[in-house]
Amino acid sequence: MKLVTIIGARPQFIKAEPFSRMFRKENEEVLVHTGQHYDANMSDVFFEELGLPKPDYHLEVGSGSHGLQTGRMLEKIEEIILKELPDGLLVYGDTNSTLAGALAASKLHIPVFHVEAGLRSYNKLMPEEQNRIVTDHLSDLLLCPTQTAVDNLEKEGITAGVFNTGDIMYDAVQRNIEISKNRYSDGAWLDELRDEGGTIPSLKEKEYYLATIHRAENTDDDTKLREIFSAFEKMDKPVLIPLHPRTRKRIDELNIQLNNVTIIKPAGYLLMLYLTANAFMVVTDSGGLQKEAFFLKTPCTTLRDQTEWVETLENGWNSLSPIDVKTILRTVSRELLCVQHPQPRLFGDGNAAEHICQILLKGGE
C-alpha cells in the first residue's frame, strides 16, 4: 500500500512516529511536512529525538492567517497527490495541515484516513473544532482514540468506516518515557534548563507546576493573559513554562512581572515528557499535554471552559478552569483524590499503530 501522510505541527510528529515505524515495514509512505510548525524547537528536534523519517516533501508554508496558510498547503498538497498517486492520504488531528490534506485528497477522489477522528469540544469558535469536523465528514476511515470519539461521530450520522483503535499518542508515551528517564534523571534535566547566563533554576521534582499557554483565545486576550500570570504568581510552588517567543513578546508588551515563573524555550519531546512526569501538576491549555499528563499519572488543570479529552476528567485527573485568578487558584489547589485510585484505562492498549495499520491494509473491513 502507498500512503501520503500529512504532518505539520508538534503533536503530529509525535503521533506519526509509531505509525510510520509500523507501516513502513512492508508498505510505502510519502511523508509531507507542511511547515506549519517551523521553529527548530517545535519541529526539527522531534524528528531527531523520535527517529521519525526525513520528510519526502517540506512545503515550508510557515505562519499566516488561517485562510492563507490553509490555501497554500492545499495547492501544494494537491500537486504532490497528482505526482505520487497514492492509495490513500492519512492525516492526524485538527490542524490547518489536516484540513488542507483532507480537502486536497477528497477533491481528487483519494481516500482520506483520519487518525484521532471524532474529537469534539463543541466550541465552533475554535479553529481546531472547525478543522476536525470538516475532516471527519470528508474521511473514508475514521480512526478514533476513544469510545467517546466513536459516540460523537454517531451523533453526527457517521457510522461507516469508524473504528476505535486506541490513542496513538499513548503508544508514543509508552515507548519514550523510559528513554526520557534515562536521559534526564540524576539532575540532567536541570542542566538542560540552564539559561543563557548559565543560571540553573532551583526546582525539585514533584515540587513545581509545569505550565504551557499557546491558544490564541488566551494569548491574544490581554485580560486573560494577565489573569493567568497573576494566578501563576500566587501559586504555592514555582511555575515552569516553556514559552513560544511570540507569547514571551506579548508578556513583555503587557509588562507582566515574573517572580514565581521560570520561562524556558520550547522543550523537545523527551525533555517535555520528563518535565510532565515529574511535575506536581500540569497547568495548560493544550489538548495533547492534557493527555500526556494523564498517561504519566500527573494531575492536570486545563485553562479552558471545555475539553475534547473528556476522559481525562474522570476521577479528577484533569479539571477545567475558567480564566480568572481566584478560580484558577481554587482549581489548582483542589484535593487530588485521583492519585488514591487506580486510573481508568480509556485510551486503548498501547498498540494503536498496529491496529491502524491492520485496518488500512484490510481496507476498513
Looking at residue 356, the DSSP 8-state letter turns out to be: H
Please state, in angstroms and rounded to a whole number, the distance separating the CA atoms of residues 327 and 215.
19
Q: Is 33 a catalytic residue?
A: no
Please state, in angstroms and rounded to a whole number, the distance separating the CA atoms of residues 250 and 233.
17
- Residue written as grid cell 501559586: 235
Nearest CA to 58 among 31, 79, 24, 25?
31
- Of the candidates 37, 214, 244, 355, the residue annotated as catalytic is 214
Please state, in angstroms and rounded to a whole number, the distance separating the CA atoms of residues 47 and 7.
12
> What radius of gyration, in Å, describes the C-alpha atoms of the chain?
20
Please state, in angstroms and rounded to a whole number, the distance separating the CA atoms of residues 32 and 145.
23
**Residue 219: enclosing H or E segment and its boundaries?**
helix 216-219
b/e code 288-312 from CB counts within 10 Å (16+ = b):
bbbbbbbbbebbbbbbbeebbbbbb
Nearest CA to 164 among 175, 154, 174?
154
Nearest CA to 16 among 172, 176, 173, 142?
172
Outline where DSSP puts E strands in the chain. Answer: 2-7, 28-33, 57-58, 88-92, 112-115, 141-144, 162-164, 209-212, 239-242, 261-264, 281-284, 300-302, 318-320
CA atoms within 13 A on the CB side of 2: 8
Please state, in angstroms and rounded to a whole number, the distance separating the CA atoms of residues 299 and 333.
11
Q: Which residues are catalytic?
A: 214
